Chains A and B, each alone.
Chain A
Amino acid sequence: MPAILVIEDDPATAEEIRLELARHGFDVHVVNNGLSGLESARKPGWSAFVVDRMLPELDGLSVIRMLRAEGVTTPALVLSALDAVNERIDGLRAGGDDYLIKPFALGELIARVQVIIRRPTSSVQTVLRHGPVEVDLVARVARRNGRDLELLGREFQILEYLIRRHDQVVTRKMLLEDVFGYRFELKTNLLDVHVGRLRRKLDLPGEAPLLATIRGTGFRLDVGA
């Protein structure tokens, strides 16, 4: 059972995070201040840290910075009530692997924790293969069972993003931020239109659907099974 250390000072939030992570099969340990967080984090065996940015005694970013300086590479998700762009950059520079603005949907939290734990396939590979799907990053060609999917630029990028995180939920926010670079809300259903087009090319009628929609959260490429 993957063990998660949650460093969060608001008891109600901490409790909800604990319940949700536990519901998804994680072993959760909660501490409520930066100093004890740092102490607990130094113990081996953690799969990931969930760290609030503003903490009593020692702030979240300092905790991560100190852990990284000590050589601890366990992935960390930073939670923050501060959402200015430079705050986010600060969070990632300090050594955080992802940055989530409060409040968040629980699905978003779980998806991001799962993604940082199973780090995306390294980018050294030039051809990503999972199940029937193959993505050739050099030739910019994607195939299902050898059939060329004829994807347009963004569709290809979405599929690449999904296959790197196959069998994991990828949220709408993650796709908008990482594939389109959009950190703002839109009025049109931009993402759904792109994913819809990708799905029509990926799953022909009669083929087993590979691209699942996770209601209210995002999408998942089911190739492992």
Chain B
Amino acid sequence: MSALNQHFVPLWRSRGLRWGLIVATLFAMLMLALFELVTWKATSLLYATLDRSIGEQLELLAARPSPMLPFMITSRMNGGPAVVTQVGLFLPDRTPEVGDLLAIPPDLVLDGRPHESRSDDGASILHAAGKALPDGRILVVARDATESLAVRQDFIRAGLTLAVPGVALTIALGIAFGVLSNRRLRRLNDTAEQIMGGTLSLRLSADVDGDELDRLCAIFNRILARLDEGMAALRNAGENIAHDLRTPLTALRARLERAHNAAGDDTPVGRMIDDCIGNVDQSLSTITALLRIADLQNGWRSTEFQPCNLAVLLEETVEIFQPVAEERQISLGAVIEAHAYVEGDWDLLVEAIANLVDNALKFTPPGGRVDVFLRSRVEGPVITVADTGPGIPPEARQSVLRRFVKLDISRNSTGRGLGLSLVQAICDLHHFSIFIQDNNPGCKFIIQCFS
């Protein structure tokens, strides 16, 4: 059924998937923040150690008597392969005197404290401390920090190898949850459609120890059970009313007929009894129609629908009514612009269309037209029954399809009355919508065979 697809939630709109994505994003952000924190903590610890060692070495060297200094620096340089600290002694004009540090980093503040700065060629990052000695020369101790940057990158790499699968897993879980909950909702939706189609005995599937949705289903099931009971009671009541009313009326009507036969056709009493029979029949047909509307609204199962060829249905109806139209000097035609099938109950659809055509012929004056159209729209077929009768004022169009309404304009004819309510009930049963428009002159009844 087409209505099903409309109610079905597409995956991208599924709550499960959306929550999955939100959680995945939050998870990724949290991971990133965590790694940033860890990396920052680790590198600052590294730098602090580095800086302390630089500062200590600077102080150590600066405390030596200045003539000893070049020798100290040179001997230190030859101390072993593990030396990563560079030291340089510079003349007051910043030219190097001795040491493996060949230039003072350009932006280094010579306050004796460690600073981060770029190497002379700008290629690497240094942590360096420099200080002017009492004799005007400058002593600088530096250490390459590029290595600690690599440590930071290692941290990030390690983090990513964890975070990427983590985020992917969260997204996958989100999708899986979305699909599952969607499938479940779809199943519930299918059941709900069937229930709406009249199978009130169906229940939504719910686990006893289930989640919120299960509990909601359980509540709905309780409501359905009550509704079902109510409907059954109503149906019984309807049947009882029908039975209790029809049984005495059968005897009454038969007696009236017998009385009529005894009185004779053309006597005043005979005519009076004839009127009585007419009245009985009229009230009975009203009750019958009301019970049928109730029956259509409550008792029918749309699950027993079959494909109906609308073109055939309309052409047959027009063919049947053609002699009536001719006798009334009304031109009646069917315009079939498209061949269309709908799922429905053939007899009921025939009843609806025959009622509309019958009505249109009843209200259209001689010389007028009644046309039946079958058109195709993207959403589905559209049936139109158009006449050139007196029309129906806009304010009355809604109510004319409801029970018991009879328009004042044609008091001399039997009102449109319950026939149209039956048409409306049949449309409702099929999930079709029916409305009335101006035909200038006259009116059109438009049935959209889709919801």
Contact = CB atoms under 8 A, between A and B. Distances in A.
A193 B361 contact: no
A181 to B, nearest CB: 7
Contacts, number: 102
Given A193-B327, A197-B323, A82 B247 contact: no
A85 interface: yes
A140 to B, nearest CB: 15
B417 to A, nearest CB: 9
Nearest to A14: B251
Interface of B: 239, 242-243, 245-255, 257-258, 265, 280, 284-285, 288, 291-292, 295, 299, 319-321, 323-324, 327, 347, 350-351, 354-355, 358-359, 361-362, 413-414, 419, 422
Contacts of A180: 320
A-B pairs, top 6 by smallest CB distance, nearest first, are A16-B254, A12-B251, A103-B250, A81-B246, A81-B243, A102-B246
Interface string A175-193: 0000011111111111001
Contact of B251 (A16, A85, A189): A16
Contacts of B414: 187
B363 to A, nearest CB: 9
19 contacts: A15-B251, A17-B254, A20-B257, A81-B246, A83-B288, A83-B292, A84-B295, A84-B299, A101-B288, A103-B250, A103-B252, A103-B284, A106-B254, A180-B320, A181-B350, A182-B350, A184-B354, A187-B358, A187-B414
Q: Determine chain A's interface SS by DSSP, over half rule.
A: loop
Contacts of A153: 319
Given A16-B251, A105-B257, A187-B362, 6 more contacts: A13-B251, A20-B258, A81-B245, A84-B299, A103-B252, A103-B280
A67 interface: no
A197 B252 CA distance: 36
Interface in A138-154: 153-154
A19 B258 contact: yes
Contacts of A103: 246, 249-250, 252-254, 280, 284
A106 B257 contact: yes
Given A10-B247, A184-B355, A105 B319 contact: no
A54 interface: yes
Nearest to B284: A103
A188 B358 CA distance: 6
Interface string A152-189: 01100000000000000000000000001111111111
A12 B252 CA distance: 9
Contacts of A189: 324
A101 B246 CA distance: 9
A102 B254 contact: no
B276 to A, nearest CB: 13
Contact of A190 (B246, B254, B321, B359): B321
A183 B258 CA distance: 27
A19 B258 CA distance: 9
Contacts of A197: 323
B251 A10 contact: yes
A106 B1 CA distance: 46
A149 to B, nearest CB: 15
A173 B419 CA distance: 18
A194 interface: yes
Contacts of B248: 10, 12
B250 A13 contact: yes
A20 B254 contact: yes
B253 A105 contact: yes
